[in-house]
Chains A and B, each alone.
Chain A
Amino acid sequence: MSVVRLHQVVALLGDFPALAGVDLSVEAGEVVLFQGANGAGKTTLLRLCAGLVAPTAGTAEVLGHDLHEQRRAVRRRVGLVGHGSGLYGDLTVSENVAFWAGLVGAGTAEVEQALHRLEVAPRLHDVAVGRLSTGQRKRTALASVVVRRPELWLLDEPHAGLDQRGRDIVDQLIREAAAAGATVLVASHELDRVGSLHPRPVTLAGGIIREADHAS
């Protein structure tokens, strides 16, 4: 079953065509790595798959839902780690994660588990997110996505701001998600592999997917 099926998708940011006709098909359980320079359209492509950006042309389906009509149904099933952390600087680490967990029906145990898995030190749990370092904040943001148990992971530069240990945790997370049957789309302008995993590379440039990658 295709988890993502895009055909000639155009998406606008204001009046700028960030995606200029993307064709892409991703099967369940696949790990795909989007590569490309800044401004190639990686972030918009992930946000489109998350149902946050509407396609203006083309046919687009994610997790079986049409992106023109059913974006809300898509949103609750995906987990997006983007440039914004989606955290409130005035709330503590555990308050933030607990808030997002509460909205998706996850309990305190899952919050603890997610923070443990991202190796956010317990002494930081009661510290306001605004006072965390970039790396710790990123880990907290990842934890708040982990509690959602997404079927489709959308990771935009997931390694940015993390130390080596943090990067290893992210790689581990991706491996486990894929092993559990989830699909993972990673965008990065520097990586060509994810830990020991060799994901399918797809290169974006100028809002379209480079020809060579269609063959693979």
Chain B
Amino acid sequence: MLRDAGRIAAKDLRIERRSRVLTTQVLPFALIVIVLFAFALDASTDALRRFTPGLFWVTVLFAAVLSVQRIFAVEVEDGALDALRLSGVDPASIFLGKAAAIATQLVVVEVLLGLSVVVFYDAEPDDVVLAAVAGVVAAGGVAAAGSLYGALVVNLRVRDTLLPVLLLPVLAPVLIAATRAYGDAFGTSAVDGWAWLGVLGLFGVIYLLLGILTYGVLLEES
């Protein structure tokens, strides 16, 4: 099961390396959002620094929607999803492979965003380890939920508009927990960021289980 998941993730990441949608579209989009926030908050570096954790994670979630859309778009372009269903691969492998590919992309997005908030918002993390760990764990949770909902809408004509409506409310706990954790890491709020990692981890585990259990049902018909 894990080997097939690895094959699927590697395939998606290879497509990504060739097509460069992440580097030429998703990353610039994330940067644009960061710039837009600066305009919206009246170019006040103080405010930007204070709200860095929240702005950072809102941007990551927006980028995640794009990443999920892209990861599933390659499957419907020329009937590859049917081929995937015909390959007899365990649906759980497809779920895990897709989730791993999305998570990898999100980590790349997070690194770039981390650098840009340091530069543009004058926000420097006090606790780099916490920021890194929370970033990876949150990416995993977002990717698991994204992989689940991406497959759910993949065969609908309205998939691009429906996906954010379904996915973003579900990610509310991730946004809250990751923002809290980064609040601690960037020293903007006095909370125990490591404790919030528990929420992120729990979310990730729950959605991984949900995906493994329900993917068969989702791919069977869709």
Hey, which bits of chain A sit against chain B, CB under 8 A? 50-52, 54, 71-72, 75-76, 78-80, 82-91, 95, 99-100, 102-104, 128, 144, 148
> Would B82 and A84 count as touching, CB distance under 8 A?
yes
27 contacts across the A-B interface (CB closer than 8 A) = A71-B220, A75-B87, A75-B88, A76-B87, A76-B88, A79-B86, A82-B82, A84-B78, A84-B80, A84-B82, A85-B79, A86-B80, A86-B83, A87-B80, A88-B15, A88-B78, A88-B80, A89-B78, A90-B14, A91-B14, A95-B14, A100-B83, A102-B7, A103-B7, A103-B84, A104-B88, A144-B83
Bitwise interface map of B from 83 to 96 toward A, beta carbon under 8 Å scored 1, else 0 = 11111110000000
A209-B77 Cα distance, complex, nearest whole Å: 32
Bitwise interface map of B from 11 to 53 toward A, beta carbon under 8 Å scored 1, else 0 = 1001100110000000000000000000000000000000000
Main SS of chain B's interface residues? helix
The 9 closest A-B pairs by CB, nearest first: A84-B79, A76-B88, A86-B83, A90-B18, A103-B87, A90-B15, A90-B19, A75-B86, A84-B78
Instruction: Take A71-B220, A85-B79, A89-B78 as given contacts and tell me if A103 and B85 are in contact as well, using a CB distance cutoff of 8 Å.
Output: no
Task: Name the A residues within 8 Å of B80 (CB-CB).
Answer: 84, 86-88
A85-B88 Cα distance, complex, nearest whole Å: 17
Specify the chain B residue showing the minimal Cβ separation from A84. Answer: B79
Task: Name the B residues within 8 Å of A89 (CB-CB).
Answer: 77-78
Given contacts A84-B82, A85-B79, 7 further A-B contacts (CB under 8 A): A76-B86, A79-B86, A86-B82, A90-B14, A91-B14, A103-B84, A103-B87
Q: Which of B141-199 contact A (CB under 8 A)?
A: none
A49-B71 Cα distance, complex, nearest whole Å: 28
Task: Name the B residues within 8 Å of A99 (CB-CB).
Answer: 7, 11
Q: Which of B116-151 contact A (CB under 8 A)?
A: none
> Would A91 and B220 count as touching, CB distance under 8 A?
no
Task: Name the B residues within 8 Å of A51 (CB-CB).
Answer: 86
> Would A128 and B86 count as touching, CB distance under 8 A?
no
A142-B84 Cα distance, complex, nearest whole Å: 15
Task: Name the B residues within 8 Å of A50 (CB-CB).
Answer: 86
Task: Name the B residues within 8 Å of A83 (CB-CB).
Answer: 79
A91-B221 Cα distance, complex, nearest whole Å: 27
Cβ distance B72 to chain A, nearest Cβ, rounded Å:
13
> Would B11 and A52 count as touching, CB distance under 8 A?
no
A78-B82 Cα distance, complex, nearest whole Å: 12
Task: Name the B residues within 8 Å of A54 (CB-CB).
Answer: 220-221
A78-B85 Cα distance, complex, nearest whole Å: 11
Cβ distance B92 to chain A, nearest Cβ, rounded Å:
12
Instruction: Take A72-B220, A91-B15 as given contacts and tell me if A52 and B78 are in contact as well, using a CB distance cutoff of 8 Å.
Output: no
